[in-house]
Amino acid sequence: MTIQTAHVRIVEVGPRDGLQNICDQVPTSTKVELIRRLRETGLRTIELTSVVSPRAIPQLADCREVMDHALVKTLLQNETGGLRFPVLVPNVKGLDIAMKCGVKEIAVFISATEGFSKANINCSVEDGIARASDVAGLATKAGVAVRGYVSCIFADPYDGPTPEGAVLHCTRSLLDAGCYEVSLGDTTGIGSPSNVHSLIKYLISNGIPLEKLAGHFHDTYGQAVANVWEAYTCGMRVFDSSVGGLGGCPFAPGAKGNVASEDLVYMFHNAGIHTGVDLPKLVEVGDWISRTLSMTNSSRAGTALSVKDNLANSPSTPAKPPRQVSRQWTVLAQPQGLQLHRGGTNLKITRNRPKGDDRRAERARVRRRGAGVCVRYSSLRARRRVRSERD
């Protein structure tokens, strides 16, 4: 398919989706600082948190503190000119809390499969659609924008492969409920570019507007960046990602983190596609949050660019000459023609041959010894000849 536009919108989900699976509690101050640093990179859509039960997601128990923080309040009040700071809400109660905190955009979520729906929100797919539709309807009436998520678009960790028809049904339901955009989530990270191509073609052929779709790819099988590029070539222009590749789903065993924001920005910039993101600053944020959380930075591009930058900025120092080690050798034994030496933990064997004048003297002694043998041999022959003549 022909690429018609050369720009994309990155939806940064690190502060919510990236942190929710971490067991150790991340301080609220760290979460707010992460949001601040991400905004300074030029990212214009940052998902702040999720208003969920602390029993279900303990990591996000401080959602109110995050939304009520002075810095976040300032961001929410200045949410104009394309800036978006959505908050994920599971139900009407969560919507009320978010709206009281001044949130102007929310996200609702459903699963395309029964197994994950039961594990994640403890209801069937149809009940999940009804619940999300109620939240979306109330939010729309209150002037709050609504974004939708469909999970497990390719496979369910409990039920196996997902039928494309199930994804179509969920996507259409969310759009009908008032969502301005639906993000298609490969929650298990099992999809490959061929799966992406097939699903997008299927949705378009069944009347789903491409401009209403976004991609949300996890990197469990190392396919996330390739999947994003395939979706882009199919015409998709909005992609979710997480700085440093943070993420994972507590209800999808084995699922790895989201595609790294640094990897997406690096790929798009090298293709001449505008993201509006300052890549060096984004790399710094990935390094910082990975160190702060004592986690490995999962962004390949971020890690490589960070190492390259550190090497470029480190002062050059002359190479040190090899250290000269003086070693004392002690003769341990002198078998015939050899010498065994020891120096510390090292052993060496040398041939014990005469040198210089000693070698010449040795050769002379050998010659004299040989000459003596010849003389004695000649005398013996003479005596035998004399005896023979006498006889």
* Nearest in space to 133 (alpha carbons), one of 119, 152, 118, 148: 148
The Cα–Cα gap between 166 and 181 comes to 18
Catalytic residue among 63, 101, 170, 249: 249
> How would you classify residue 350: left for phi > 0, otherwise alpha for psi between -120 and 50, otherwise beta?
beta
Question: Is residue 135 over pLDDT 60?
Answer: yes
pLDDT band at 344 (very low <50, low <70, confident <90, very high): confident
Question: Is residue 72 over pLDDT 80?
Answer: yes
pLDDT score recorded for residue 146 = 98
The residues, ordered by sequence, that sit 6+ positions from 143 with a Cβ below 8 Å of its Cβ are: 104
Q: Is 249 a catalytic residue?
A: yes
pLDDT band at 389 (very low <50, low <70, confident <90, very high): low
Percent of the chain at pLDDT > 70 equals 83
> How would you classify residue 162: left for phi > 0, otherwise alpha for psi between -120 and 50, otherwise beta?
beta
The residues, ordered by sequence, that sit 6+ positions from 282 with a Cβ below 8 Å of its Cβ are: 38, 41, 43, 243, 261, 262, 265, 302
List, for residues 348-383, the tens digit of each pLDDT value.
887 776 555 556 666 666 566 655 545 555 555 666
Please give the model's pTM, rounded to 2 decimal places. 0.78
pLDDT score recorded for residue 300 = 95
Question: Is residue 74 over pLDDT 90?
Answer: yes
Q: What is the mean pLDDT of residues 66-85?
A: 92
Structure tokens at 246: 């943070």
Question: Is residue 255 over pLDDT 50?
Answer: yes
List, for residues 210-242, the tens digit of each pLDDT value.
999 999 999 999 999 999 999 999 999 999 999
| Span of 68-82, 172-186, 374-388 with lowest mean pLDDT | 374-388
pLDDT score recorded for residue 3 = 46
Higher model confidence: residue 311 or residue 30?
30
Question: Is residue 328 over pLDDT 90?
Answer: no
pLDDT band at 313 (very low <50, low <70, confident <90, very high): confident
Strands 9-12 and 238-241: parallel
pLDDT score recorded for residue 155 = 96
The residues, ordered by sequence, that sit 6+ positions from 265 with a Cβ below 8 Å of its Cβ are: 10, 275, 277, 279, 282, 301
pLDDT band at 385 (very low <50, low <70, confident <90, very high): low
Q: What is the mean pLDDT of residues 318-344?
A: 73
Q: What is the mean pLDDT of residues 46-75?
A: 95
